[in-house]
Structures are given as structure tokens and as C-alpha cells.
Amino acid sequence: MISEAGLARFAREVAKYPADQKQSAVMACLAVVQQELGHVGVESEKLVADYLGMAPIAVHEVTTFYNMYNQRPLGKYKLNVCTNLPCQLRDGTKALRHLEHKLGITMGQTTADGMFTLQQSECLGACADAPVLLVNDRTMCSFMGNEKLDQLVDGLMAAGVAP
Amino acid sequence: MMASQILAQFQATGVETCFHDRHISPQIYAGLDGSNWRLKDYQARGGYAALRKMLAADGAPGLTPDQVIATVKESALRGRGGAGFPTGLKWSFMPRQFPGQKYLVCNSDEGEPGTCKDRDILQFNPHIVIEGMVIAAYAMGISVGYNYIHGEIFKTYDRFEEALEEARAAGLLGDAILGSAFNFQLHAVHGFGAYICGEETALLESLEGKKGQPRFKPPFPASFGMYGKPTTINNTETFAAVPWIIRNGGAAYLACGKPNNGGTKIYSVSGDVEKPGNYEVPMGTPFARLLEIAGGVRSGRQLKAVIPGGSSAPILPAAVMMDCTMDYDSIAKAGSMLGSGAVIVLDDSRCMVKSLQRLSYFYMHESCGQCTPCREGTGWLSRMVDRVENGQGRASDMDLLNSVADNIQGRTICALGDAAAMPVRAMIKHFRHEFEYHVEHKICMVPAYV
């Protein structure tokens, strides 16, 4: 279920568009869903479809087209490491390998304790900050050499369940 | 510590990329320090003076929409998103007497690998984009606009929303702007991870709440854009250039650059340089000078090649690049394109096959799947470059790569097909011997490159 605050954010997004074009808010509403629930499932798509007056399949098309929507539950922290060429030239791939080694998983997998999902990502738009990674869609971490990657992972582990 | 506190430690401050004092005569990044992005700071830098001048809020007679467009035409401002189309001319295409709604869209979906300039504009100087958009809207008689921001830079989206609130509260946005009869509503919108949405018609589809699959052109957005209404789309940096032009005049802006290439341009310099970052310099600045202010090639190595305009731009060997000046015409003459101004520098330790392998994978990943030559061709290219890199290439692969690239380029609805084909052709044209070495010896010429 989406919280009252989440529904208020839906309304705020819908208000940006003409009254007969509520569908324009679909990406923002799905992002709100993902922030609250961690992923976008079929029930959530149905909820957003009803809210915006869309066919559920039209919402599903959006969820499946855009890279950042999680179509299944992931770890508590989704780490997206950019390995595109500008980052590759500045140790982006090394950062991904280091995290694989540290977390004991390969990219695309989630740690057994459900804390981390590690993914390779395409250009995050922070090429001069390489190596970069995006945590849970909203927080970009820059200049992530191995030492800082260790600090990040160890810090988040220590923070435990607190969001 | 809380998780949010931990994450906060690793966020970029902009010191390295933007506040380094190595810009040359900056206009958009001038005077920024990371904390002075708010309305009062922007106004202290002369912000919104252009809007006041245009709307006669400063006691002067004001400017008509035609005068604004004429000034932008005179400035020789060209679109900063990649195509380099003359901005004033684009604005003049909008129907003047259209009876229905028209829309203005800012393309901040900055996803071209190598490009990170618009992020710093929006993060550290958001009001310059708002002011530029209000001026553009007035010039074209538009009352509603959207700024579509790259989904991966969410903090920047939040920042822009905050700046919009400030502008609305100060009467600089909304109804009866600065007491005039002009109304303009502007909203922030975010993407959620799709390179293709940087293509203007894909962006429009996305704004309408659909998959970002590009539309056929014509009709162009000026006649059939958002919701089928006349729409003008410009890049973030293009809008950010406008206030300076209105304040100082088109001739003054043109004089900052070189003929047909007015003003300053922000280059995102990445890869093998000592100081990667954004550098705002006058159009026509020699590449050698840009490389110098970015600290030169990393670790004292030699320059091997440069991708001068984002990952889609054909790569140029060092010797060609060192003779170029950084402007649309010089880079085009050298056989590449200025594109978004993303300068990806490769030193002499880099394998060109491995570099192309990553780019070709990217285009395969981001093809929207609509056109067969691109959907199938990008995968074919990627798999072939992969096998050459992995020592399984065949002597005929270079010609086959060129053939597949030829059959993608120019045969798709949008430019993503061209963007996938051009790097392949240029890499083979300039560095064919490296591909042949891979095929013959089944190993890389420069194996140290990870």
C-alpha cells in the first residue's frame, strides 16, 4: 500500500499536467511507489493505472522500458556502478569488481542477508566524478576508489536496518 | 551513524568539476561556489536583469518577442545538446498565431556518455535556466513549460523544484510575471533511466507517460510536439546562455566566440586527464588549451585519441585533435562532431578495441527496439567487437563491422542508429591495425588496460 504522503506526491505530480493528460505523471508515480515499496510489482502497476485512468498494460510498458524501475524485490541498498567508457577509463570497472569481491556476489545478484544488490549501470551523467555509483536511485556517490567503497559498504552494514 | 549520514559523505561537492577557477571568461558558471545557487545570490550576480529588461520592469521600453528572437539570431547561439542547430532560427519556426496551447521543453536528460555539464548548471545555478526559459517562452508566446531532468540525478531534480518555488514566490514565474501581462508556468519532470529519452521526440513520448520511442520527423515538434501541440525543445545549456545574450546583446555574445559559433561552451572533460571536470571556455578555444587547463594527459603519458563530442562522436587521433579548435565548424571539418561537448581523452595505454567494446555494448543496451536495423544491428556490432576483443575475431570482421554500420546509419527513425555506427566506423578507420593485431595474435597490443 502507498502511504498518505505518497498519494499526496501522486497528486502533486498530476497537477503539473493538463487535466486530460494525467498519464504524464506515470513515471513520477512509479518512482514514488519504488521509493516506498522498494520495487514496482503488478499490484502497484494496477494501483497507478487506476489512479491515472490508464490501462495496466500501459503502465507495465513504462515499468519495463526504463532501466531504473525494479521489477522484483532487491536488496535494501541497490548499488548501480557506472562502467561506461568515461568511467571505465577511470576505474569504474575496477570499482564494480571490487564490490563483487567485497560483497561476495557477481553483478546482478543480491547478498544473502538481503542488504545489497549490485548492478552494472550505463551512464549516470557524472563522468568527471568517476568512479561513480548510484545508491537506491537517489544518491550519487562520487570518486569512489576502493577505500571509499569499503567505507561505504562497512558504514551501511553498521547502520543495519535503520533507513 | 544513520545510513543517510554515511551516504552524504560521498556526494560530490562540485569543487573538482565546477569551482576550480580554470574556466576562461565564463558566463554560465561565473562566480559559483556551490552555496550560492539561491534566488538572492543569482540576483546579486545580475540574474533576472535580462527578464526585467525584456518585460520593461526596469523602466526601459522593453523588448518585443521579435526583438528577442532577432537578438538570439544575431548571437549565433547554437543548440548545446548536440546538433548545434541555430537557436534563434529554431525559435522562429514556432507558429505565432496558433490558437491552442504551445509548449516549451528543456532537455536536461543528460545521458550521452562523457557529458555532465547540465547537472552542474542545474545544481549550482538553477535560476539561469529558469530565466532563460521564461525569456524563450515570451519570445515564442508559450505559457507552459517542462524541464525534463535525467532520472539518475535526483538531488538535482529536487534542487530545481526548490528553485522553481523561489521564482514563483518572487513573481518571476507564474501569472503576470513582474507585473506584466505575460504568464508562464514551468514544471520539473524526471526521467528514470533511458538514454534514448535524450532524443527530443522520445523525450516528448516520455513526457506523455509512454515508452520513450522516437517519432518520425517530419512533422517536427514545432508543428506536432507535446500532446500534438507546437513545441520547442532546447538543451539546458542553451537556455542558460540566453540571459547573458539579452543583457549584453547578440553582437557581444558572438564576439565571445568565433563567426557562426557564438559565446562560450562548457566542455565535460573525462578520461585520461589529470583534472577531469567541466570547463567553460569561449567557442574556438584551441583543443590544446582545453587539455592544458584540464591538467594535461594523466601521469605524463602521451595523448592517443580523443572523442570530442560524447560517445556518439567519431574518435579522432591525437595529431588531428591537437590541430582543432573547440567549435562546431572546426571539429566537423576534422571529421567528427562537437556534439554535447563531452571530451573523452584516451592515452597511449588504451586499447581501441576494448574501448569500442564498451561503447557498442552501450548502444545495444539502449536501443529502444523500434527500428530493425538498430535493434538487430547494434547487437550484431556488439557481439562482433566482443569476439575481436576476446581473440575470436576473423580477418573479415573489420569489413563486416563497417558493412553492418553502413546498413544501420541513415536507416532508422532517430539518430541512435547513427550514434552506434559512427564510433565503429571511425575506430576502424583510424585504428584498423589494432583490430588486425587482435585477430592475428589473439591478444591485445596494450594488455595493461583494464
Determine the distance in angstroms separating the CA of A159 from the nearest CA of chain B, rounded to an integer: 6
Contacts of B112 (CB under 8 A, 6+ apart): A123, B82, B195, B198, B310, B311, B312, B339, B340, B342
Residue-level pLDDT at A162: 43
| Cell 571539418 -> residue | B333
Q: Average pLDDT of B224-236?
A: 98
Cis peptide before B219 (omega within 30 of 0): yes
Lookup: cell for A133: 555509483
Question: Half-sphere exposure of B180 toward its Cβ, with a 13 Å CA cutoff?
Answer: 23
Residue-level pLDDT at B309: 96
Q: Average pLDDT of B45-64?
A: 94
ipTM: 0.96
> Contact A102/A144 with Cβ under 8 angstroms?
no
Are A143 and B187 an interchain contact pair (Cβ–Cβ within 8 Å)? Answer: no
Are A86 and B270 an interchain contact pair (Cβ–Cβ within 8 Å)? Answer: yes
Give B60's pLDDT tier (boundaries 50, 70, 90).
confident
CA triple B57-B162-A4, angle to 5 deg: 135
> Contact A130/A89 with Cβ under 8 angstroms?
yes
pTM: 0.96
Q: Could you report the per-residue pLDDT of A16-72, keeping only the tens digit for each?
A: 999 999 999 999 999 999 999 999 999 999 999 999 999 999 999 999 999 999 999
Residue-level pLDDT at B182: 96
Which residue type sits at B442?
Answer: K
> Contact B269/B343 with Cβ under 8 angstroms?
yes
Strand spans (E) along B180-224: 185-190
Which residues does chain A have within 8 Å of residue B350's beta carbon, measured at their own beta carbons? Answer: 89
Q: What are phi and psi of A69, to 5 degrees?
A: -75, 130
Q: Which of B17, B272, B450 sits opposite A128 (nearest CB)?
A: B17
Lookup: cell for B424: 565503429
Residue-level pLDDT at A1: 83
A158: contact with B, CB 8 A cutoff = yes
- Going by the DSSP 8-state scheme, the letter that residue B308 receives in this structure is B
pLDDT at B389 over 80: yes
Q: Could you report the per-residue pLDDT of B111-141, keeping only the tens digit for each?
A: 999 999 999 999 999 999 999 999 999 999 9
B-interface mutation test, from A123, A133, A134, A143, most B Cβ less than 10 A away: A123
Q: Could you report the per-residue pLDDT of B259-272, keeping only the tens digit for each?
A: 988 899 999 999 99
Mean pLDDT score of chain B: 96
Residue-level pLDDT at B449: 63
Partner B, chain A 80-139, Cβ-Cβ below 8 Å: 83-86, 88-90, 93-94, 122-130, 134-135, 137-139
Give B293's pLDDT tier (boundaries 50, 70, 90).
very high
> Contact B15/B139 with Cβ under 8 angstroms?
no
The string over B300-314, giving b where at least 16 C-beta atoms fall within 10 Å of a residue's C-beta and e elsewhere, is eeebbbbbbbbbbbb
B299: contact with A, CB 8 A cutoff = no
Mean pLDDT score of chain A: 96
Q: Could you report the per-residue pLDDT of A2-16, keeping only the tens digit for each?
A: 999 999 999 999 999
Q: Average pLDDT of A75-92?
A: 97
Q: What is the DSSP track for A36-95?
A: HHSS--HHHHHHHHHHHT--HHHHHHHHHHSTT--SS---SEEEEEE-SHHHHTTTHHHH
> How many angstroms separate the CA atoms of B149 and A57, rounded?
25
Are B270 and A122 an interchain contact pair (Cβ–Cβ within 8 Å)? Answer: no
Which residue type sits at B159?
Answer: R
- Going by the DSSP 8-state scheme, the letter that residue B274 receives in this structure is S
Strand partners, B343: B269
Which residue type sits at A118?
Answer: L
State which residue of chain A sits closest to B227, comparing Cα positions. A21
A-interface mutation test, from B1, B5, B10, most A Cβ less than 10 A away: B10
Residue-level pLDDT at B58: 83
Lookup: cell for A122: 550505463
A35: contact with B, CB 8 A cutoff = no
